[in-house]
């Protein structure tokens, strides 16, 4: 921990030195909520979000806040260790789908706003029976559309990355979430919370964007049920993409005369969700928005950018962070700001000199350039009391959403 701010109703505990004003203002709002428990934890990668900073951890007594989870419910990371110890660029291009065969994951994993044209196997979806007690289920309304979204990457900072670990193995990593399904659920319940808070004349100002649902209301548990479905859907989404990435790796390696590739150590962790947990001997609703759970001995993933290292980590279970850590490097420039201010040639040169097959083609891609993100090495240094590094991963090839 770097600093504690004690000027609000509850303390704000910071794992960074350079918090910007808008992020700090949002953290102050959290610390003044009437139901905040103990303190607010702000991770080393924090930057502004809607209502709550991305990189924030908030424990609440008796309520759940949809905006403290966000619109990409269940967004997270998965990573797999392979038996490969090296891979050349021709094979990497075949895996991505930019090689001679023009196959690879670009033909099997839709990106951006694209979905599959055909519904994927419903057996891969989470069981919808859990939704039977939800009076107006958004997930049920969107279920068939969700079957076409399954196994799709999305846009923004979502990515597929092939990396070389300092354990000597090639790793596969995917960052994605619950797609439009999570957005629909989040939007519906946040609007519902806003209407209910207005009706109750809630003391939480609407401009804070932190409307809440009391846990003793049926609407809160409807939200929790649908949110948990979206978390599981996001995992199913990453799992299907990982299966198709594995197939592309095996085909590309075989095509280059290599043998069978084996896959081990599947790690998955979400960083946008709320869950009832016990902290300081009390059951509270812990919201992690752009933050990763890091219980003692629990494996997690902290990505950098396409021009910096990522990390497989092991949690230390620090109670001061509610057993949490950062979910990545965190933005230092907003998307439009990055597109306006970063130099395309310089950012491309940085990646080319690293030997990374990258996704930086034009000025519109600069919002995901390495220069748009904080220094991951500083982020990791700032949270040494939260996690230990298990494997450091250097990027080799990237497909962005």
> CATH no. for residue 72?
3.90.1860.10
Closest CA relative to residue 104, chosen from 95, 113, 112: 95
pLDDT-derived band of residue 103, with 50, 70 and 90 as boundaries?
confident
Residue whose entry in the numeric block shows the structure tokens 């924030």: 56
Residue 316 has pLDDT above 80, yes or no: yes
Asked if residue 207 belongs to a domain, the reply is yes
Give the active site residue among 188, 327, 358, 364: 327
Q: Provide the pLDDT for residue 366.
A: 93
Range from 3-17, 98-112, 248-262, 292-306 carrying the lowest mean pLDDT? 98-112
Please tell me the total count of domains within the chain: 1
Tokens at residue 180, please? 């439009």
Asked if residue 287 belongs to a domain, the reply is yes
* Helices 218-255/179-200 angle, 10° precision: 160
- For strands 36-47 and 12-14, give the pairing: parallel
Number of Cβ atoms within 10 Å of the Cβ of 227: 25
Mean pLDDT of the chain: 96
Average pLDDT over residues 158-187: 97
Torsion sign (Cα): 384, 390, 395, 397: negative
Asked if residue 342 belongs to a domain, the reply is no
Q: Provide the pLDDT for residue 102.
A: 59
Average pLDDT over residues 132-149: 96
Closest CA relative to residue 81, chosen from 264, 269, 309, 240: 264
Percentage of the chain beyond pLDDT 90 is 95
CA torsion angle for 334, 336, 342, 345 (degrees, to 10)?
Answer: 130
- For strands 76-82 and 272-279, give the pairing: unpaired
The answer to whether 37 and 59 are in contact (CB under 8 A) is yes
Asked if residue 385 belongs to a domain, the reply is yes
Residue 240 has pLDDT above 90, yes or no: yes
Asked if residue 361 belongs to a domain, the reply is no
CA torsion angle for 45, 48, 53, 54 (degrees, to 10)?
Answer: -50
Percentage of the chain beyond pLDDT 70 is 99
Asked if residue 308 belongs to a domain, the reply is yes
pLDDT-derived band of residue 125, with 50, 70 and 90 as boundaries?
very high
Q: Provide the pLDDT for residue 94.
A: 95
Query: 34-48 pLDDT, tens per residue?
Result: 999 999 999 999 999
* Cα 327 to Cα 346: distance, rounded to the nearest angstrom: 27
Q: Which residues fall within 8 angstroms of residue 102, CB to CB, at 6 or more apart? A: none
Alpha carbon 285 to its chain centroid, in Å, reads 19
What are the Cα distances from residue 65, in Å, to 10, 162, 221?
18, 36, 12
Tokens at residue 94, please? 């075949």
Residue 401 has pLDDT above 90, yes or no: no
Torsion sign (Cα): 317, 223, 225, 124: negative
Intra-chain end-to-end CA distance of the chain, in Å: 33
Average pLDDT over residues 54-77: 98
3-state secondary structure of 86: coil
Report H helices in 47-122: 89-96
Asked if residue 387 belongs to a domain, the reply is yes
Annotation says 327 is catalytic: yes
Residue 297 has pLDDT above 80, yes or no: yes
pTM of the model: 0.96
Length of the chain (residues): 401
Which CB contacts under 8 angstroms, 24+ apart, belong to 3-11?
5/31, 8/32, 9/33, 9/36, 10/36, 10/38, 10/39, 10/40, 11/39, 11/40
Q: In terms of residue numbers, what domain contains 292?
A: 3-332+373-400
Q: Provide the pLDDT for residue 99.
A: 67
Q: Provide the pLDDT for residue 206.
A: 96
Average pLDDT over residues 5-20: 96
Asked if residue 294 belongs to a domain, the reply is yes
């Amino acid at each position: 921990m770097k600093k504690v701010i004690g000027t609000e109703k509850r303390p704000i505990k910071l794992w960074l030195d350079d918090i910007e004003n808008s992020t700090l203002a949002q953290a102050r709002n959290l610390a003044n909520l009437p139901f905040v428990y103990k303190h607010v934890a702000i991770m080393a990668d924090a930057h502004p979000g809607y209502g709550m900073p991305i990189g924030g951890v908030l424990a609440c007594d008796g309520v759940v806040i949809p905006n403290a989870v966000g619109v990409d419910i269940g967004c997270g990371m998965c990573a797999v260790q392979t038996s490969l110890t090296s891979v050349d660029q021709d094979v990497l291009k075949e895996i991505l789908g930019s090689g001679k065969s023009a196959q690879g994951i670009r033909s099997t994993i839709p990106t951006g706003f694209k979905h599959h044209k055909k519904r994927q196997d419903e057996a891969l979806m989470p069981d919808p029976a859990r939704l039977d007690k939800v009076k107006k289920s958004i997930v049920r309304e969107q279920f068939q559309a969700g079957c076409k979204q399954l196994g799709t990457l999305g846009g923004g900072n979502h990515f597929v990355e092939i990396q070389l670990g300092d354990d000597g193995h090639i790793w596969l990593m995917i960052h994605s979430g619950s797609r439009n399904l999570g957005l629909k659920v989040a939007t519906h319940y946040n609007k519902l919370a806003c209407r209910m808070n207005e009706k109750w004349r809630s003391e939480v100002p609407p401009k804070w964007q932190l409307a809440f649902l009391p846990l003793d209301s049926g609407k809160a548990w409807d939200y929790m049920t649908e949110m948990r479905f979206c978390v599981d859907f996001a995992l199913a989404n990453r799992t299907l993409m990982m299966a198709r990435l594995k197939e592309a790796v095996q085909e590309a390696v075989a095509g280059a005369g290599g043998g069978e590739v084996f896959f081990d150590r599947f790690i998955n962790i979400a960083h946008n969700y709320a869950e009832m947990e016990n902290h300081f001997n009390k059951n509270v609703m812990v919201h992690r928005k752009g933050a990763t759970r890091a219980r003692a001995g629990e494996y997690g993933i902290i990505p950098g950018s396409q021009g910096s290292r990522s990390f497989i980590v092991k949690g230390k279970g620090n109670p001061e962070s509610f057993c949490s850590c950062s979910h990545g490097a965190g933005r230092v420039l907003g998307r439009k700001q990055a597109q306006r201010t970063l130099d395309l040639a310089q950012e491309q040169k940085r990646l080319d000199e690293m030997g990374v097959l990258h996704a930086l083609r034009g000025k519109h891609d600069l919002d995901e350039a390495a220069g748009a993100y904080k220094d991951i090495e500083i982020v990791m240094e700032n949270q040494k009391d939260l996690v230990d590094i298990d494997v450091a991963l250097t990027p080799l090839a990237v497909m962005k959403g």
